[in-house]
């Protein structure tokens, strides 16, 4: 059944009347997506879109991937959930596979239902292990929406409260395009950030529990530090006994193309102590979790369970999805097709003065939008691009501290033809937004 635009508008009005004001929606006329296939989704009015954002939202591999649908429906037909108080074969199997992939020797895995809860668990473990409630986090970071994860979120547009259960110290390193670090070489930048970290630790009384960091900042606008930054941090952390928690909620499972995990671009001194994951691993089913060194994960002295974390139906999805992406080398696909897409977008940007930078790793690509001819980030222009892209049948995201970065993260199975098509549509949308911004 196809709805009219009026039906969608009525649903929007009901949404606004009953859901919180801060649960913001994309687009002036928000979308109601009703089904998907591969890299495409359809709205309730029957319009089809190429999905250049859903890959990072949840649908990492492909919409309605038959292998995942089959695994979920077979498991749901048997039993959806029992309790983590009983043995579960799918949970043990997925934990074994993730432990083996983590690169952490003697790894232990704990499943949750979201990225927020995964990071919350990591913080609980790190603070309990180190007996400290001091945490290092990165400026411009995002780690979740709970009280604890907001307390380590440096991106203030996603920090709805300034209260925090921790003493959080924010470190430089996530974004260098602006401010005093702009213009430094990679080596100089790393040295400056390390010196800043050392200085901060010298001025901090007591032992810090952990550094939590996204290898590529997601909500923060897909900004990656130079390779090796976290390896250089690690040397300092090790000297102080501070744990390294890598938030791989957006960067895991091959998305960055060159590596399976984002931390592997910083692998100088081996894997992090704890690594958190969520979003795409279930290809749309609610899975999150933390994997880490046994000594740290086993630190809790009382019971701590997540009622739905590790439910058989989500684990079945995770197992089917993981098998698919490994068997089809989707990490390699992210590297190849993502590389081509970045090239196309850079070529486009060269002719547009509303674009300041195109950057990316694999299928995680950020495009900074500015007021044409200036260096000033323009969230208004970014919103215009989103709308213009939607009108042309392309969905993209936005982010960054001011919302002026376009975020492109298609499902990992994106084809070359779809990459070319999406780049063309985005080019048209950028040109339209540029001419409208220049005219206003
Ligand atoms: N960490 C990162 C890096 C994220 O991008 C997100 C979600 N945007 C989260 C944590 C929180 O995940 P969730 O929304 O599943 O709670």
| Ligand 1 centroid from CA 2, angstroms | 32
The answer to whether residues 112 and 216 belong to one domain is yes
The residue from 299, 327, 355 where one domain ends is 327
The answer to whether residues 299 and 348 belong to one domain is no
- Residues 354, 175, 117, CA angle at the centre, nearest 5°? 110
The answer to whether residues 38 and 117 belong to one domain is no
pLDDT at 199: 94
- Alpha-carbon distance 366 to 162, whole Å? 28
pLDDT at 164: 87
Low-confidence ranges of the chain (pLDDT < 70): 1, 177-178, 439-440
Determine the structural domain holding residue 355 and report its residue range. 5-60+331-439
The answer to whether residues 31 and 141 belong to one domain is no
The answer to whether residues 34 and 162 belong to one domain is no
The answer to whether residues 297 and 381 belong to one domain is no
CATH number for the domain that contains residue 320:
3.40.640.10
The residue from 327, 361, 386 where one domain ends is 327
Complex-level ipTM: 0.99
Token digits for 332? 């390699």
- Alpha-carbon distance 294 to 309, whole Å? 19
The answer to whether residues 312 and 343 belong to one domain is no
The answer to whether residues 266 and 153 belong to one domain is yes
The answer to whether residues 202 and 122 belong to one domain is yes
CATH number for the domain that contains residue 421:
3.90.1150.10
pLDDT at 440: 64
Q: Work out how many domains the chain is built from and give that number.
A: 2
Residues 6+ apart with CB under 8 A from 338: 257, 360, 361, 362, 363, 364, 365, 414
392-419 pLDDT, tens digit per residue, is 999 999 999 899 999 999 999 999 999 9
pLDDT at 380: 96
| Ligand 1 centroid from CA 391, angstroms | 28
The preferred substitution site among 113, 142, 145 for testing ligand 1, maximizing ligand atoms within 8 Å of CB, is: 142
Token digits for 92? 């043990």
Which string of DSSP letters, residue by residue, matches 6-65?
HHHHHHHHHHHHHS-TTS--SSSS---EEEEEBTEEEETTS-EEEESSHHHHT--S-BT-
The preferred substitution site among 143, 152, 399 for testing ligand 1, maximizing ligand atoms within 8 Å of CB, is: 143
pLDDT at 269: 76
Helix (H) or strand (E) holding 171: strand 167-171
The answer to whether residues 224 and 294 belong to one domain is yes
- Residues 285, 262, 145, CA angle at the centre, nearest 5°? 50
The protein residue with its alpha carbon nearest to ligand 1, atom 10, reads: 143
The residue from 327, 349, 377 where one domain ends is 327
The protein residue with its alpha carbon nearest to ligand 1, atom 12, reads: 115
The answer to whether residues 131 and 160 belong to one domain is yes
The answer to whether residues 220 and 358 belong to one domain is no
């Amino acid at each position: 059944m196809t709805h009219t635009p009026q039906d969608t508008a009525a649903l929007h009005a009901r949404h606004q009347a009953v859901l919180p004001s801060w649960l913001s929606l994309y687009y002036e006329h928000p979308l109601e997506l009703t089904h998907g296939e591969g890299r495409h989704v359809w709205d309730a009015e029957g319009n089809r879109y190429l999905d250049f954002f859903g890959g990072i939202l949840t649908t990492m591999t492909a919409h309605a991937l038959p292998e995942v649908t089959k695994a979920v429906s077979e498991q749901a037909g048997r039993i959806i959930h029992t309790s983590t108080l009983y043995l579960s074969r799918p949970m043990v199997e997925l934990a074994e596979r993730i432990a083996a992939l983590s690169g952490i020797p003697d790894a232990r895995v704990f499943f949750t239902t979201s990225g927020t809860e995964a990071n919350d668990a990591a913080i609980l473990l790190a603070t309990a292990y180190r007996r400290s409630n001091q945490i290092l986090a990165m400026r411009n970071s995002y780690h979740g929406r709970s009280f604890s994860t907001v307390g380590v979120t440096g991106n203030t547009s996603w920090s709805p409260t300034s209260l925090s259960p921790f003493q959080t110290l924010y470190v430089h390193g996530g974004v260098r395009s602006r401010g005093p670090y702009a213009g430094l070489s990679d080596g100089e930048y790393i040295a400056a950030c390390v010196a800043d970290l050392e200085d901060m630790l010298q001025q901090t009384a007591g032992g810090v529990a952990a550094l939590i960091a996204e290898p590529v900042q997601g909500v923060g606008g897909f900004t990656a530090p130079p390779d090796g930054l976290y390896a250089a941090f690690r040397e300092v952390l090790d000297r102080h006994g501070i744990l390294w928690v890598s938030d791989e909620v957006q960067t895991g499972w091959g998305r960055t193309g060159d590596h399976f995990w984002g931390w592997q671009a910083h692998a100088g001194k081996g894997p992090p102590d704890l690594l958190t994951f969520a979003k795409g691993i279930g290809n749309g089913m609610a899975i999150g979790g933390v994997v880490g060194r046994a000594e740290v994960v086993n630190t809790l002295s009382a019971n701590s369970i997540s009622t739905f974390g590790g439910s058989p139906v989500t684990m079945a999805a995770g197992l089917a999805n993981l098998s698919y992406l490994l068997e089809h080398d989707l990490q390699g696909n992210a590297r190849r097709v993502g590389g081509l897409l970045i090239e196309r977008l850079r070529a486009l940007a060269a002719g547009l003065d509303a674009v300041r930078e195109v950057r990316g790793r694999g299928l995680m690509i950020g495009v900074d939008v500015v007021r044409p001819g200036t260096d000033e980030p323009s969230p208004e222009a970014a919103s215009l691009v989103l709308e213009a892209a939607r009108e042309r049948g392309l969905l993209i995201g936005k982010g960054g501290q001011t919302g002026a970065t376009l975020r492109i993260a298609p499902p990992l199975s994106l084809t070359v033809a779809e990459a070319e098509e999406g780049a063309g549509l985005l080019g048209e949308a950028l040109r339209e937004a540029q001419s409208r911004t220049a005219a206003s």
